[in-house]
Amino acid sequence: MNISLAVLGALAFANASPTVQVKAIAKRKSITDIFGSSQLTGAFIDLLKDVANIFKDRKGNAPKPIPSATSFKDWKAFKANGVNLGEGCVLMEKGIDPAFFNNNGAAAAEDEDSFCEILGDFKCGLLLKKRYLTYITKADIDKFAAYGVNLIQVPIGYWAFMFRQKGMHFHTGGQLLAFSRIAQYAISKGMHAIVDLHGLPGGQNGLDNQGKTGQIGWWHNDDNFEASITMVKRATDCINLQPNKNQFTFSVINEPLPALLQFGQTPDSFAYLNKYYNASLAAIRKKSSTLPVMFSDGFSGEQV
């Protein structure tokens, strides 16, 4: 289903009277005939409710003002007390939550890509969008704030910002809405947000936290390199469009160490990683002169 149809459905749901909403949900059986299971039907109806509530907030009560910093974060002085929202928020890792895979008909899946391959784009899309809107809630953010958390990290894959590559099965759509929803509420509670690119085109570490297990085709591949820089540009645009863009930091790669070990941590592999860092920084600086950019050392320490 096109996400725009879901949004239109949510708008209709939001504008309908409670009686009409109840009647709409009462048609669950006919919807189930389309989806093929009551579980997917529930996921779709709950998704409409959640999206409808977002629109209700926008057209209902005046939104609470979100505190805005006057400048970008100075990481030399910032004392972080942070929480990683994990691979389960807008990027799936089976090791984090195997029950999500096992209970949704994809027990054989190893990662997000095979999850969508087994279920098909339509079914996995419904389940993932439901997950995006419910895995991390306002109540969770409130708990973080109560414990003095002032930083969140949100892992996200390249397919949130561009079409998936040929041969991949990731579902594209819904991640950025969920990310913005989480980040803006966290910012309203005085937190800073790190956008953490966990999956790069071709795969940078071979682990399931990049979306596709066993794939390390990012390295020394010109097409994947250029696709990554395109993705970095689009992610930067996404941050710049946030109403509080100065409350974000951008991490451009996650855990390249396993792939570096695969290559024996040669000077060439470190040179390639640094090439990506330099190209990423140059692309970001053309769009923002002040956005903090975070680089990973791949757990390898400083390299001379």
Q: What does the pLDDT look like over 22-67, one tens digit per residue?
A: 344 444 444 444 444 455 555 555 555 554 454 444 444 444 444 4
Domain shared by 209 and 107, yes or no: yes
In this structure, the answer to whether residues 29 and 95 fall within a common structural domain is no
Percent of the chain past pLDDT 90, that is, above it, reads 51
Please state the domain count of the chain.
Answer: 2
Backbone phi and psi for residue 96, each to the nearest 5 degrees, phi listed first: -80, -40
Backbone φ and ψ of 72, nearest 5°? -70, 160
CA angle 3, 5, 10 (to 5 degrees): 95
Residues 198 and 272 placed together within one structural domain of the fold: yes
187 and 245, same domain (yes or no): yes
Domain end residue (candidates: 19, 35, 63): 63
The answer to whether residue 302 is domain-embedded is no
What's the mean pLDDT when you consider all of the chain? 80
In the sheet that holds 293-294, the strands lie side by side as 82-84, 151-157, 192-199, 248-251, 293-294
Which domain CATH number covers 248? Answer: 3.20.20.80
Q: Which of 36, 63, 90 is the last residue of a domain?
A: 63
The model's pTM: 0.77
Average pLDDT of the segment spanning 225-246: 94
What average pLDDT score do residues 64-71 get? Answer: 50
Over residues 241-296, the pLDDT tens digits come to: 998 999 999 999 988 876 666 666 677 788 888 999 999 999 999 999 999 999 98
pLDDT digits (tens, 9 = 90+) for 99-115: 999 999 999 999 999 99
In-domain check, residue 299: no
- Quick one: 31 and 164 in the same domain? no
Q: What is the pLDDT of residue 300?
A: 72
In a domain, 115, yes or no: yes
Helix-helix angle 121-134:38-59, to 10 degrees: 50
Regarding whether 273 and 130 lie in a shared domain, the answer is yes
Residue span of the structural domain in which 34 resides: 1-63
Regarding whether 72 and 59 lie in a shared domain, the answer is no
Co-location of 50 and 191 in the same domain: no
Residue 265 lies in a domain: yes
Report the half-sphere exposure of 68 (CA within 13 A, side-chain side): 8
Residue 301 lies in a domain: no
Q: Could you count the other beta carbons within 10 Å of the beta carbon of residue 295? A: 14
Q: Do residues 87 and 198 make contact, with C-beta atoms less than 8 angstroms apart?
A: yes
| 195 and 178 fall within a common domain | yes
Residue 222 and residue 188 in one domain: yes
pLDDT the model gives residue 150: 96
Residues 104, 142 share a domain:
yes
Return the structure tokens found at 282: 């140059």
At residue 216, the pLDDT reads 87
Instruction: Name the 3-class secondary structure at 138.
Output: helix
Q: Are residues 20 and 94 in the same domain?
A: no
Residue ending a domain, among 63, 81, 111, is: 63
